[in-house]
A and B are shown apart, each in its own frame.
Chain A
C-alpha cells in the first residue's frame, strides 16, 4: 500500500488537545505502549504513535475508497454527534449519530425491514398520503417517521453491510464494536487511555472527549475517503 502525505502536523494535534488522555486511575494497562507521560493526574498519549496510526488508517481508507467500499461512521456522544453527521455527509458515507440500536449489523435483515418501512413512510409523505388519513393515524405515522429518521437517517443509503466501520469512542460504542468483531468487519477506532487497543483493527490513540480532537481526526479520515473516491473516478 502506498504511503501518501496526509498533512498530519504534530503541532496541530497538540493545539487540538489530541494528546490528553483520561484520568490516571481509569487507564487500561494495555494502553501502556501508547502512553508517554503522566501530567497532573492525566495520561498523555504519545503523539508520534498517534500520527503513525492515523496515517496508516488514512492509507487504508484511501485504498478502500478507491476500490469502492462502503464505510460507516459511528459516533453517538452528544458532543460529537453533529460533527459525525457533517463529516459523513461530506465524505458521502453512512453514519450513525444517535443511539446505536443493538443488532443493527448482526440483525441486518430486521434493520432492512425497518428501512423498508422508513422508505414507504417517506414516499407516502411526499405523495401526500398522510393528509388523507384521520388525524390520529397521521400523527402516529409522523411520529414513527421522525423516530426512524433520527435513528436510521444516516444509513438510509446502505444496501448491504459496510466494509469498514469507523468508531469514535470505544467505551461508548462497545456494542457496535462487538458486532463488527463477530461479523469480521475491519474497524478503525479512536482509542483513549481507558480503552482496549486490541479489539479494533486499527486503533488510533487520541482524545475522545474534546470536540476539537474528534474533528481533527475525522477531518483527516474524511479527506482520505474523498481523495480515494476521486482517484477511483480517474481510473475505474
Chain B
C-alpha cells in the first residue's frame, strides 16, 4: 500500500509543477519521492523534463517483505447487485466516428487531422516553436536564474576519408550562487552552438551542494571520475576559493565562498569538473548524519 499512497501523493502533485527537495535520506517508511526529481526547476519555459535521480530510489519497500509470509488477499466485499462489466473484446463494436468523438472529447483534436466535434484541427500549431523563421531565431537568453560559465572549449577532429571534420566541444558549468550546480558538455560545428548545447546538458544534471552558513563545506571529501581525483576541504571564512581551473569554476558557480580544492589525478578539465560534483554529492550535512545515527549534533562536533 505504501507504493500506491506514495504514487497517489506523487500524482496529486504532478498536476502542478512544484519543486520537491529530495528527502529520500529520511526515515525509510517515508513517502517515495522518486517520481519527482530534486532538480525540478519548474518554469513553464523550461525544456528539461523531470529526471529521477539515483538517490531517489527507495529500496526500503522490500525490507519488510517476508518471502515466507502468508499473504492474504482480502478484497473489499462486492457492492450489491454487482455485475462484472464486459471485457473490452466483447461489447458493442464502436464505429470509427464514435471512437474519434470520444477521444476528441477527452484530448481535443490533437494530431488526428480530423475533427468530429468541430474543434480546430490545427490547434497544435501554436505550440510549435518558430524554427523556420528567417535569419537567426532569437533564443531567450535569460533562463531561470542560472549563470553559465565556459570551462573549456576544444577543437576536436574526426578523420574521415575526405579529410578532417572539425567540431568544437564546450564544457560549461551552470549554477545559481545558492548551492545548485551542473556540469554539461556539448559538441557542435560552431563554438556558440556547442556552448548552448552544453548549457542545456548542464541544466539536466544539477546537484545541490550542502553548505554551512559560512558558505563552506561541512567536511572534507574526495571524489573521482575517470582518472581525475579531486580533494575538497572546508575553510574558515575569509579564505576564498583556493582551487585550480575547473574545480574553482564549479565551486564559484555553486556559491561556495571558502574552500580548498586540489586536483590530485589527471588534469582533464571535464573529468575534474565531474569529479568535484561527485565529491560534493558524497557530502552530508551535520543535521542529516545526526538524524540517521539518532544522536544529537553536539556529539558530532566533538
Contact = CB atoms under 8 A, between A and B. Distances in A.
Given A90-B91, A156-B110, A186 B4 contact: no
A56 B85 contact: no
Contact of A48 (B49, B59, B71): B71
B124 A159 contact: yes
B8 interface: yes
B103 A157 contact: yes
Nearest to A94: B107
Contacts of A64: 11
B300 interface: no
A157 B113 contact: no
A201 B82 contact: no
Contacts of A51: 73, 75
A74 interface: no
B7 A184 contact: no
Contact of B88 (A1, A4, A157, A218): A218
Interface string A41-60: 00000101101100111011
Contacts of B111: 115-116, 118-119, 156-158
A215 interface: yes
A177 interface: no
Contacts of B84: 7
A33 B65 contact: yes
Contacts of B124: 112, 115-116, 119, 159
Describe A's contact surface by its main secondary structure.
Answer: helix
Nearest to B65: A33
A32 B49 CA distance: 34
Contacts of A60: 4, 7-8, 11
A7 to B, nearest CB: 5
Contacts of B82: 5, 7
A163 B14 contact: yes
Nearest to A122: B113
B185 to A, nearest CB: 18
Contact of B10 (A52, A119, A186, A198): A186
A215 B89 contact: yes
B243 to A, nearest CB: 32
B59 A198 contact: yes
B189 interface: no
B11 A87 contact: no
Interface string B99-126: 1001110111011111000000110110
Contacts of A161: 49
Interface residues of B, number: 58
A208 interface: no
A91 interface: yes
A10 interface: yes
A214 B121 CA distance: 35
B128 interface: yes
Interface stretch (B33-41, B142-150, B257-265): B33-41
Given A60-B8, A92-B102, A163-B14, A8 B88 contact: no
Describe B's contact surface by its main secondary structure.
Answer: loop
Contacts of B10: 186
A14 B8 CA distance: 30
Contacts of B22: none
Interface centre among A69, A121, A157, A218 (most CB of B within 10 A): A157
A86 interface: yes
B88 to A, nearest CB: 4
A86 B12 CA distance: 29
Contacts of B7: 60, 186, 201-202
A133 interface: no
Given A5-B79, A157-B107, A186 B11 contact: yes
A219 B84 CA distance: 11
A123 interface: yes
Contacts of A215: 87, 89
B112 A184 contact: no
A206 to B, nearest CB: 14
A108 B125 CA distance: 16
Given A60-B11, A118-B111, A123-B121, 15 more contacts: A6-B75, A8-B73, A33-B65, A48-B72, A59-B4, A87-B88, A91-B88, A106-B49, A122-B114, A157-B112, A163-B11, A183-B51, A184-B34, A184-B36, A219-B87
9 contacts: A5-B78, A7-B84, A86-B89, A109-B47, A112-B124, A158-B110, A159-B108, A163-B14, A181-B52
What 5 A-B pairs are tightest by C-beta distance, nearest first?
A: A122-B113, A90-B88, A115-B111, A184-B52, A119-B111
Interface of B: 1, 3-5, 7-8, 10-12, 14-15, 34-37, 47, 49-52, 59, 62, 65, 67, 71-73, 75-79, 82, 84-85, 87-89, 91, 94, 99, 102-104, 106-108, 110-114, 121-122, 124-125, 127-128
